[in-house]
Copies of this chain bind each other. A is one copy, B any other.
Amino acid sequence: MSGEDAPAQQQNAVDQKQETKPAEEPKTETESPPAAGAAEAAATPAATTEKVPEEEAFTYRALVLTGYGGYDKVKLQVKKGKPVLKAGEIMVRVKACGLNFADLMARQGLYDRLPSPPVTPGMECSGVVEAVGEEVTDRKVGDKVMVLSRFGLWQEVAVVPAAHTFLIPDGMSFEDAAALPVNYITAYMMLFDFGNLRPNQSVLVHAAAGGVGIAATQLCKTVKDVTVFGTASATKHETISEGGVTHPIDYRTKDYVEEVRKISPKGLDIVLDPLGGSDTHKAYNLLKPMGKLITYGTSNMLAGQKKNLLAVAKNWYHQFSIHTLSLIQGNKSVCGFHLGYLDGEMELISQAMDIVLDLYKQGKIKPRIDSTWHLEQVGDAMRKMQERNNIGKVVLTTEPMPEEEKKEEPKKEDKKEDKKKDDKKKDDKKKDDAKKEEKKDDKKKEEPKKEEKKEEEKKEEPKKEEK
């Protein structure tokens, strides 16, 4: 997002102060647990040692990708030193952060918009303006804002250009505000800029229970008589149907191409394709004349916790490539979209955001939060998303994690066992040290149960609103 390199500089400056250790693989076990404690320490001046100039006393917790690999590569650390604001920048006290597929790709080294580790990931967050740089006229201390950036937002304090922030409308929670920007701007620009969605058209939404999928479904319903085909595993069908999907398709047990053709023999007006590889070919073939294929990811590359070279190679091998003569003879359109590459296009993005926020105020759209996790739980949060166990957005909160939650580990053993089994099934093909890593993960696993339960209770509500 950020054409400017503000988050990068903040990152670098702070890392230099903080890190004398090698960037590669710092002592993981020891670092993550004390982090929460360190944050508390930050609030207690007594904990800061030696020379304590005001600038140095300023500390904040930050998630840091320390190297490419599994979930454990994102570690909670403490950064020191108050960031210095340049003209046009603001400092935000972050309240909640959104997880996106690009973050998962980035962790595996598959996303080139993230600088090399160590680096703080995170493309979106919500928070409160804590300081304002020179030349900033439209933001003031205390404003509640959403933030978009190329990276660098999974931390308690983020410095960003004011132009990359949007005021949070009255009544919107920090969680919703962290869940909204990437998914809704992506869905909006795909459907209404490239897709030019109009009444009576038909749309295929893959991963319809994911963040973009739910946003796209809601946005489709703002246009008269749009038919939404949505793929998701069967357990999610009720929820996505209530959310607006006309025809849910269980892609795990059925051939979605056949299912679509049964209902719409001529094909579709728009296909949103986050999968890549051979699914892009299928999408293209499903298009009607004047149809638009909008591809916005290669999530098929993600197989397992760490980079799966076979999956990556397969995706490249099957990568869709199209000749113009075929496009002409088919009267078709192929578009590529990724918000992370829309550098410096804040004007376009702001236009889309204005419309999205307007729809929110009218009650026509509302982010659906799958679950909220503490920074300490980022590994589990990522796992939930990567294993497609979420319905809606996975969100991080910067609220300190209550001590009692940290001690509840044994309660979850049964669940962890299930997860382990799942992991093994998926990673069977992999010959590397996945098992060792999972064990490490388990040790660090914290208690997300509460959030999940909360969410289950909440589920009924948003459904109604989505109608």
Contact = CB atoms under 8 A, between A and B. Distances in A.
16 contacts: A276-B324, A280-B324, A289-B341, A295-B324, A295-B328, A296-B328, A297-B328, A298-B328, A319-B323, A328-B338, A329-B336, A331-B336, A331-B338, A331-B341, A333-B333, A334-B335
Interface in A273-327: 276, 280, 289-290, 292, 295-298, 319-327
Q: Tell me the interface secondary structure of chain A in the complex.
A: mixed
B328 A324 contact: no
B336 A330 contact: yes
A329 B334 CA distance: 13
Q: Which 9 A-B pairs have the closest CB atoms?
A: A327-B336, A328-B336, A333-B335, A196-B196, A320-B324, A295-B324, A321-B323, A328-B338, A329-B341
Contacts of A328: 295-298, 336-338, 341
Contacts of A297: 328
A292 B292 CA distance: 12
A255 interface: no
A338 B329 contact: yes
Given A290-B189, A333-B335, A334-B334, A320 B323 contact: yes
A332 B335 contact: yes
A417 interface: no
A251 interface: no
Contacts of A289: 341-343, 345, 348
A277 to B, nearest CB: 9
Given A196-B193, A289-B342, A319-B323, A334 B331 contact: no
Contacts of A336: 324-333
Interface residues of A, number: 38
A132 to B, nearest CB: 29
B194 A333 contact: yes
A345 B335 CA distance: 22
A194 B196 CA distance: 7
A193 to B, nearest CB: 6
Contact of A334 (B193, B324, B343, B348): B324
Contacts of A326: 336
Contact of A290 (B193, B276, B290, B334): B193
Interface of A: 189, 193-194, 196, 276, 280, 289-290, 292, 295-298, 319-338, 341-343, 345, 348
Contacts of A295: 324, 327-328
The CB with the most chain B CB atoms within 10 A, among A319, A321, A328, A348, is that of A328
Contact of A321 (B324, B329, B341): B324
A320 B328 CA distance: 12
A341 B330 CA distance: 7
Given A194-B292, A290-B342, A332-B336, 18 more contacts: A290-B345, A290-B348, A295-B328, A297-B328, A320-B324, A321-B321, A321-B322, A324-B334, A325-B336, A327-B335, A330-B341, A331-B336, A331-B341, A331-B345, A332-B335, A333-B335, A333-B336, A334-B335
A267 to B, nearest CB: 12
A319 B25 CA distance: 47
Contacts of A334: 322, 324, 327, 333-335
A320 B326 CA distance: 10
Nearest to A348: B290
A342 B288 CA distance: 10
Nearest to A276: B324
A328 B323 CA distance: 16
A46 B172 CA distance: 88
A323 B348 CA distance: 24
A322 B280 CA distance: 13
Contacts of A322: 321-322, 334
B348 A337 contact: no
